[in-house]
Structure 1
């Protein structure tokens, strides 16, 4: 896949204290195989679905041990310029733009409601080699308790327009690049324990949602929500054995009417 337009989700990785455990879990649940760990880059290890790079896992650097979580990266033609916009619009830089060999330039940030994300300026590594196929990234949503902050921030940093789903049951917004919807925003309800901070929930595609859930729970994962049918696919939210949240979705099994979506002025 070529370099993605600015603001497109283009890569995902996660830090795991038990790297081998993570490889075993995701290998079974998502069918991933893994490349060689790159000792030059902190044992960064790419994950592959059917031979295509779809994500990466990495052990924590000394002093960076903490809860595991998936980090979604957004494409940028200029990571330094994006970092400046993040600062100007109330975000916090957790890692200044840093060149990663010939692969590209990255930074890590926290948006004003607390969700952590990455920015990736592609070099030799352009990002996902496949999306929306079994084992690959499909979709992501910013889960936030303060949607007004998130809604102001992302279109100020990236060239997004916004649409809102009109449904009394949920507060859900979608950010678009042109005609393409690239990321969603969900207001967290009281169903979420108060200690759970805002975060970006990453969806990986699977052949069969129920089978993926059964594998995940058998291996020590925790089912958080679903499986549930939707017009977009049958999906479920899971926490892996090391606490990283993610979702699985079978996009071939759809049900129900598409929601009422309106432009945000």
Structure 2
């Protein structure tokens, strides 16, 4: 379907996700079996990202985690035409820049930031790589939920950065906000949770468990679909979403 082969993403639209893993080969096996992803050939530099593809189109990346102190995690990237300018607006709104914009082999420029509560998110300024080649279908990105302590403060922060993407007349949001305690223990830090679409949530949960992952939150009904929160076999959390 044409709408799944998006080539341009407006500022504030989730446009890419990657997972930082200690063992990329194990990640390829896990996600290849779970979502039917295929992978580009690994490059000699073990720190480089390996693209995952669905029906030939890029849908995510798996990256080798070189520092064992860093979390094993999925990160969402929001599109921007000017990452440096957006970093300035993030600082002015009370957020912090973890990694300033860095060019990525002509593909674009990436940065990492946190909101005022500490939730980490990425920025992507497209070059040759605009982002997802497919989304909103089984085995691809479908949603990202911010679990925050103060959802009104989160609305104000992200609304000031990405107003058109969140509240514009033509917006079809891929991004929601909810209190941490809705799903997780109250002491869980604020964070973004990447959701991948599946045809059957319960069956997908069973597949995660067979592949060595575990369940953090059994399937429940949310306003945007049926959701289960799981981790892969290396500890990276993500959600399964059935619509």
TM-score, length basis structure 2: 0.90
When the two chains are superposed, the root-mean-square deviation of aligned CA atoms in Å is 1.9
Instruction: Give 2:167's match in structure 1, choosing from 150, 170, 176.
Output: 176
Q: Superposition pairs for residues 182-221 of structure 1, below 5 Å? A: 182-189=174-181, 192-221=184-213
- Of 215, 223, 247 in structure 1, the residue corresponding to residue 215 of structure 2 is 223
Aligned residue for 1:263? none
Offset from partner CA, 1:167-216 (integer Å, 9 cap, x none): xxxxxxxx334332231001111752355311111110112222211010
User: Alignment partner of 2:167: what SS?
Assistant: strand
Q: Do the aligned partners of residues 142 and 105 (structure 1) sit closer, same or farther apart at CA in structure 2, a change above 3 Å counting?
A: same
Partner SS, residue 178 of structure 1: coil
Per-residue CA deviations over 1:23-58 (Å, capped at 9, x if unaligned) read 111111111111122445832100011211100001
**What displacement does 1:74 show?**
0.4
- Choose the corresponding residue for 1:131, options 135, 155, 180: 135
SS in 2 for 1:156: helix
Deviates more, 1:184-193 or 1:97-106: 184-193
1:145 and 2:155 correspond: no
1:39–1:155 CA distance, 2 compared to 1 (3 A):
farther
Q: Partner residue of 1:240?
A: 232
Q: Does structure 1 retain, via aligned residues, the 8 Å contact 2:180–2:186? A: no
Structure 1 or 2, whichever has the larger Rg, is: 1
Classify the secondary structure of the residue corresponding to 1:133: coil
Whether 1:158 aligns to 2:162 is: yes
**Matched ranges for 1:1-265 at <5 A:** 1-39=6-44, 42-61=47-66, 63=67, 65-160=69-164, 175-179=166-170, 180-189=172-181, 192-229=184-221, 232-251=224-243
The answer to whether the Cα contact below 8 Å between 1:222 and 1:238 also exists between their aligned partners in 2 is yes
Distance 1:224 1:41 in 2: 30
- SS of 1:114 mapped into structure 2: coil
8 Å contact from structure 1 (residues 68, 242) kept in 2: yes
Q: Distance in 2 between matches of 1:96 and 1:110?
A: 12
CA offsets 1:43-82 (integer angstroms, 9 cap, x no match): 2100011211100001113x36422111000000111111
The number of equivalent residue pairs is: 237
Of residues 10-19 and 204-213 in structure 1, the stretch that sits farther from structure 2 once superposed is 204-213
More helix by share: 2
Deviations 1:105-140 (A, max 9, x none): 111001111110001011100000011111110011
> Separation in 2 of the partners of 1:187 and 1:25?
30
Taking the aligned partners of 1:22 and 1:114, their CA distance within structure 2 comes to 27
| Separation (CA, whole Å) in 2 of partners of 1:42 and 1:241 | 20
